[in-house]
Structure 1
Amino acid sequence: MNHDRYPDDYIAGILNSVKTIALTGASPNPARPSNGVMGYLLSRGYNVIPVNPGQAGKQIQGQLVYARLADIPVPVDMVDVFRASEYLHGVVDEALALALRPKVIWSQLGVRDDAAAAKAEAAGIKIVMDRCPAIEIPRLAA
């Protein structure tokens, strides 16, 4: 897939089908974008599970934080990546190692790694890069 543009129906289909989202790079700091987006997704009815090794065992936005994807005790539909581009490949590898893989890996604004995307897509996982669900949801009225 060409990741320079996404059809609106592709994005809307993802946002309307996922329910449980693992948010990697979650921050307890309300000034950080990951914290605001997490709060927004929670307000829209998504089950959001924060992932941050430095915060594991604590809570962010009232949700228990896990150190890594493999520690989450329930299957996730989507992994939302709030990490720098150089970490996207590692997140893809971590997702591919799960017994129940997510349907989608979504990387936030400015986060892109085409090789990581190709690896995930080859394993049947949908990819969205350089987009924010908190921008796309109101735009598409998802």
Structure 2
Amino acid sequence: MLLYIRYLLLTVLSKAERVFEAAERLRGVQIECSPATELISKYNYKNVLIYCDPPYMAETRSGGTQYKKEMSDEDHEILLNQLLKHPGPVLLSGYHSDLYDSMLCDWDYIELKAYAQSLEKKTKVIWANYSLKDKIDENKYSQMSFV
């Protein structure tokens, strides 16, 4: 019994240490839980980088419903219009779709080979409203295709 209590105590202390480490890393970080469109409007400044990883469009997924809050095609279009107007740098994750490809046709993008939840091989896309080729060393990331 004493060994078990010692084990529990060490486990709790170990987890507590990780919590303190995480708290230290997050010092000065502001976390907000709001709809993306509200946050984009609130932080619509040239010096704000937005990384947006919205729920993927239903047409690009093979697994059906995967999110608590699904986005309609109209929601995606509203989000994209807002990101297109953002004066600062934007990175956006997703999969190729007619909507994204047409609205983001002037943006740079890279393709990443990935596996979906269904273990199906997919090509994930990261779009940017600035040149990615200048920022990423292609030799370091051989799984990426620069387009």
User: More relative contact order in 1 or in 2 (CA 8 Å, sep 6+)?
Assistant: 1
**Range class of TM-score, shorter chain:** 0.3 to 0.5
TM-score normalised per structure 1: 0.35
Structure whose alpha-carbon radius of gyration is higher: 2
